[in-house]
Chain A
Amino acid sequence: MTEAAEFNASRWVLLSDWSAGTIAFVAVVALLVLGLAWHNGRGLSPRRRRVLLGLRAVSVAVLFALFLEPGLRLENVTRVRNALVMLVDASRSMALPGEGDGTRLEGVRRMLERHEGTLEAWRALHNIEFYAVSDHARPVGGPAELTASGDATRLAVALADIAARHRPEDLAGVVLFSDGADNGALGALRAGEGLPAAAREAVARLATPIETVFTGPRSPVKDVAITDVQYDAFAFVHNAVSIEADVRVQGYDEVSLPVTLRRDDTLLGTRVLQVSKGPDGTAQSHFTFDFVPDKTGKAIFTLEVGTAPGEQITVNNRRQFVVRIIRDKIRVLQVVGRPSWDQRFLRQLLKKNPNVDLISFFILRTNSNLTMASQSELSLIPFPTEELFKEQLGSFDLIVFQNFTYRGYNMEAYLPLIRDFVRNGGGFVMIGGDLSYTNGGYAGTAIEEFLPMNLRAGRGELSTETFSPVLTDAGRRHPVTTLSVVPEDNTALWAGLPPLNGYNRVGALRPGAVVLLETPAPERAPVVVAHEFGEGRVLAVTTDSAWHWDLHAAESGDNRHYYKFWGNAIRWLIKDPALQPVRIQADRDRYPQGAEASLTVRVSGRDSLPAAGADVAVDVERVSLDAEGRTQTEVVHHQSGTTNEQGELVLRFTPPGDGGYRARARALVGTSEGTDEDPFIVAADPIELRETRARPETLAALSEASGGRARTLSDGLDDLVRREPQVSRVNRRKDVPLWSSAWWLLLAILFPSAEWYLRRRWGLL
């Protein structure tokens, strides 16, 4: 083996073992010698003085070198390859058009293919590691494994990931390929601004120059994008809700587009987007949609902006999200025809209920009353019929007509509005008395249309008998009349309540009316009747003496059943979801693409206890809107099963793609079928597609802060600055002394001799 092959590293060393102090002392002596030589030559001509001093200096230098014993150290060393990190943005925005043909990611791939030879050569010194960058940096085998599918771009996080994985001394370099469309810490960075703290910290931890390679179009992509939607995941029914949206337009000087908001397929509002281009070539528009949810439950909302001519990216023109509409308080309107004990105890009950927002209006005086006082001596206000039954009607969840007649208040025009209120989902209770039902003149009116019974024409009839109401078969199971979940106890509790005094006689029941309480046989007149009308629910109570269940029952120390009865009634009337026998719930409102959804179905029996062994069928529909905004559904999954001991059935399935979905559950509860549905979204609005503009300034800022260079795809990689790998082990070493050479001896004799000769010749010796 030749010596050159034997050693692969060399360096200069001092072979002497003089201490630093000795070396310093000798150096000072050498300088003194030179100083004396300069001093002694002061009588000479400048030329002779320089010559002699030069010869003295060379002599001293040669002797000093001999004193130090310089040598060449030859070594055979082993080096460990360091890491050349190639970070490639693999977010969705990399699938957008890049420079020239193809996507931004394809541009990166082509560049890497062009430099395959270079990379191969570098592999001798470096481990070339590829990472796909999205919300984090994840190792991949090579460019072929990269797909533009990440739902975020967090460049600072990715750099921090690399800093956590490698020490700075183990890095040959960091190369970042990206379109710069960061939606993390660097998302708000503007050209010329310093890095935000998170990015600054990541760069400092890396302590390695970051070479960035920008991939993206030179001119802005033609795109209209919904960049942000601000909404609350929860909203209150009958309370105005604001949804705000930011729309960014780039690549257009002028465009006019509709912006729409839909709840399922109901159009909630339309705005017009008018563009005037901003200083950075883009235009930002802000929209606010206000609407009032009229029913509880989850719903899919779709915000959409129209497609501009020639628009290159349309997937970001639509955003879908789920809002859960809940009830803050139950808004009850209690209208009373005359003060009475029945009204007094019901009002007290409603006032005590913290979940009820009560508006009462009592008729304290009619036109037939003689107050014997001027208006200023009375505390009366006019009956605000228009405000209550027209302007504010829709703000209520439940209307109670308690021994109230509409006659005498010019209310005829409002009765159809009340009917429509019920038809559209409102609750309504009519409570008996001498001003109710037929006695109130409701026969033939819009009110009668939704009552559970026909009203007798002509004068009403009142029964003044005292009776104990009897629970019907339906009443034993109905949530309104469930005082106890144990059927026997329930029947006994009803039988133990104080008797009632009188009731309104009414006509035949309508189909679908469910009598819950009735007078004893043989008459069996309805006392409490439940009925559904359109989307709404109606409860007819034909007596005005239910207050005895409060005060009178308290005589035995227990008036809670009065509260239980009306509490049940209110919850049933407003369709409290907790009363639904079948409920289905997805474990999330929004899933990322490819994630598995877990659907839990809960079935409870009429006794409100979990129903084990119930057969359940679940359909999952994909919900989309067609061009006209109509809902289109397609069943994408069907599954059946049986509930466990807890009355639950858990189903899992993976939605096939982006979009809105609705899971529907059906189960047989007793003899009737219960249903429920729950909507959810699958990654329909990735953040990646909100900001599509390629941003070279982000990459330039990273490079500048780290001491690297910002380059483009066309700049190539050949001049990439890389650090050499570090030595990990010295296998063999040889020191070659240079001072022992004859040349050094010759020089040590030659220069003093020359000085001696000249001094003698010039007469200085």
Chain B
Amino acid sequence: MRNPTRRGALTAFAAVAGALAARPAGAIGPDDETGIALLRHGAGATLRPGAVEQLLWEATKRTSIDARERPAVVEPESPEVFRHPLIAWLGEEACPPLSDAAVARLGRYLRAGGCLYIDDASPPGVDGFDQSVRREVERLLPGRVLSRVSNDHTIYRSFFLLERPFGRTARQNFLEGVELDDRTAVFYGRNDLFGAFGRDAGGSWRLPVEPGGDEQREMAFRMGINLLMYATCLSYKRDQVHVTEILRRRKWRVDEGGVVK
């Protein structure tokens, strides 16, 4: 692990200060704040402790999203998955197959509007989790396969402008995903995105970010925030590019001289 830099220390201080500061609720009810649920399958729910909390804290600090402070953890067979529009499945080694009930539940969840982010945290050369992911995605969405997500996808400009996916590692410079109803229902990244976020009790980063160090960690946070923005806003940014043009194209007014504007 690298020594904390000055910027990292400041960020850590801000994180602690932020955690201590009282803040208004972003949504009214307890289930309604924007957040990320971790899927309890394999090592997923415990693999990157503190990572989701740190990402949501950063999102709340940097954006208008008022995120839930703690991640929820959901069982894949549980109807609770429907309370969490964004679920992350983390892993670094091969997983047992999802039960049939879990496959049915998660498949329905994805088709109904849910979003699943799969984060491969395994080191380069280890593909056990990757094989599990591909197997389960085919079971969840029969007939659909993971395909490369274009680098002009909205997830790369939903808040920060990014050119490629970032994470704790730089194993793959693209995301894969599955499209459903003009949205990407499943994202699959292999750069250990959530590994870049966790802190230990002393406020230091749990894991080093390689090869780019703090700069890469910052980009990973931006990637995480963009993921959260995409999950809540979908294609909003893609459409927004055209908003002004759409508005001005509307011929709905006539000026004093009788000219349509």
Contacts and interface: CB of A to CB of B under 8 A. Distances in A.
Given A289-B258, A552-B83, A347 B236 contact: yes
B26 A340 contact: yes
A465 B161 CA distance: 39
A242 B236 CA distance: 34
Nearest to B255: A290
Interface string B129-166: 00000000000000000000000000001111100000
B27 A434 contact: yes
Contacts of B233: 339, 343-344, 347, 362, 364
Given A384-B244, A464-B29, A369 B34 contact: no
Given A269-B258, A344-B85, A384-B244, A372 B218 contact: yes
A750 to B, nearest CB: 102
B88 interface: no
A159 to B, nearest CB: 45
B258 A434 contact: no
Q: B30, B82, B157 — which one has the most chain A CB atoms within 10 A of its CB?
A: B82
Contacts of A550: 112-113
A589 B65 CA distance: 54
B117 to A, nearest CB: 15
Given A434-B26, A551-B82, A554-B113, A502 B32 contact: yes
Contacts of B76: none
B183 to A, nearest CB: 8
A437 B34 CA distance: 20
A464 B28 contact: yes
Given A434-B25, A502-B28, A238 B250 contact: yes
Q: B65, B218, B239, B250 — which one has the most chain A CB atoms within 10 A of its CB?
A: B250
Contact of B253 (A292, A347, A363, A555): A292
A437 B83 CA distance: 25
A469 interface: no
A124 interface: no
What band does the interface of chain A fall in when counting residues whose beta carbon is under 8 Å from B? 35 or more
A312 to B, nearest CB: 31
Interface of A is mostly: mixed
A464 B258 contact: no
Interface stretch (A387-395, A516-524, A626-634, A669-677): A387-395
A434 B63 contact: no
Interface in B189-246: 218, 222, 228-229, 231-237, 239-240, 243-244, 246
Interface in A341-382: 341-345, 347-348, 351-352, 358-366, 369-373, 376-381
Interface string A273-302: 000000000000000111110000000000
Contact of B63 (A339, A343, A376): A339
Contacts of B85: 341, 344-345, 547, 551
A531 interface: no
Contact of B160 (A239, A269, A377, A395): A377
Interface string A152-166: 000000000000000
A15 to B, nearest CB: 90
Contacts of B34: 339-341
B254 A292 contact: yes
A552 B82 contact: yes
B108 A339 contact: no
Nearest to A293: B252
Contacts of B108: 554-555, 557
Contacts of B251: 239-240, 292
B259 interface: yes
A326 to B, nearest CB: 15
B253 A394 contact: yes
A464 B66 contact: no
A239 B114 CA distance: 37
A129 B87 CA distance: 92
Contacts of A242: 260
A289 B32 CA distance: 52
A359 B64 contact: no
A337 B27 CA distance: 11
What band does the interface of chain B fall in when counting residues whose beta carbon is under 8 Å from A? 35 or more
A317 interface: no
B28 A339 contact: no
Q: A238, A344, A376, A544 — which one has the most chain B CB atoms within 10 A of its CB?
A: A344
Contacts of A387: 244, 247
B125 interface: no
Contact of A551 (B30, B112, B250): B112
Contacts of A378: 159-161
Interface string A296-338: 0000000000000000000000000000000000000000011
B179 interface: no
B243 A359 contact: yes
Contact of B243 (A238, A351, A361, A500): A361
A269 B28 CA distance: 51
Interface string B2-37: 000000000000000000000011111111101000
Given A341-B34, A548-B83, A365 B63 contact: yes
A342 B32 contact: yes
Given A344-B234, A351-B235, A392 B247 contact: yes
B247 A434 contact: no
Interface in A510-564: 543-545, 547-548, 550-552, 554-555, 557, 559
Given A240-B251, A501-B30, A377 B161 contact: yes
A462 interface: yes
Contact of A462 (B28, B113, B114, B157): B28
A271 B257 CA distance: 10
Contacts of A377: 160-161, 222
A271 to B, nearest CB: 8
Contacts of A366: 64
A239 to B, nearest CB: 6
Given A292-B252, A551-B85, A501 B28 contact: yes
B79 interface: yes
Nearest to B115: A344
A621 B79 CA distance: 62
11 contacts: A269-B258, A343-B233, A344-B85, A345-B85, A359-B247, A379-B160, A388-B247, A464-B29, A545-B29, A554-B82, A555-B108
Interface of B: 24-32, 34, 61-66, 79, 81-83, 85, 108-109, 112-114, 157-161, 181-183, 218, 222, 228-229, 231-237, 239-240, 243-244, 246-247, 250-254, 258-260
Given A364-B159, A502-B28, A551-B113, 12 more contacts: A239-B250, A269-B254, A338-B66, A358-B239, A359-B246, A372-B218, A395-B247, A434-B26, A544-B29, A550-B113, A554-B82, A554-B112
Interface of A: 238-240, 242, 269, 271, 288-292, 337-345, 347-348, 351-352, 358-366, 369-373, 376-381, 384, 387-388, 392, 394-395, 403, 432-434, 462-466, 500-504, 543-545, 547-548, 550-552, 554-555, 557, 559
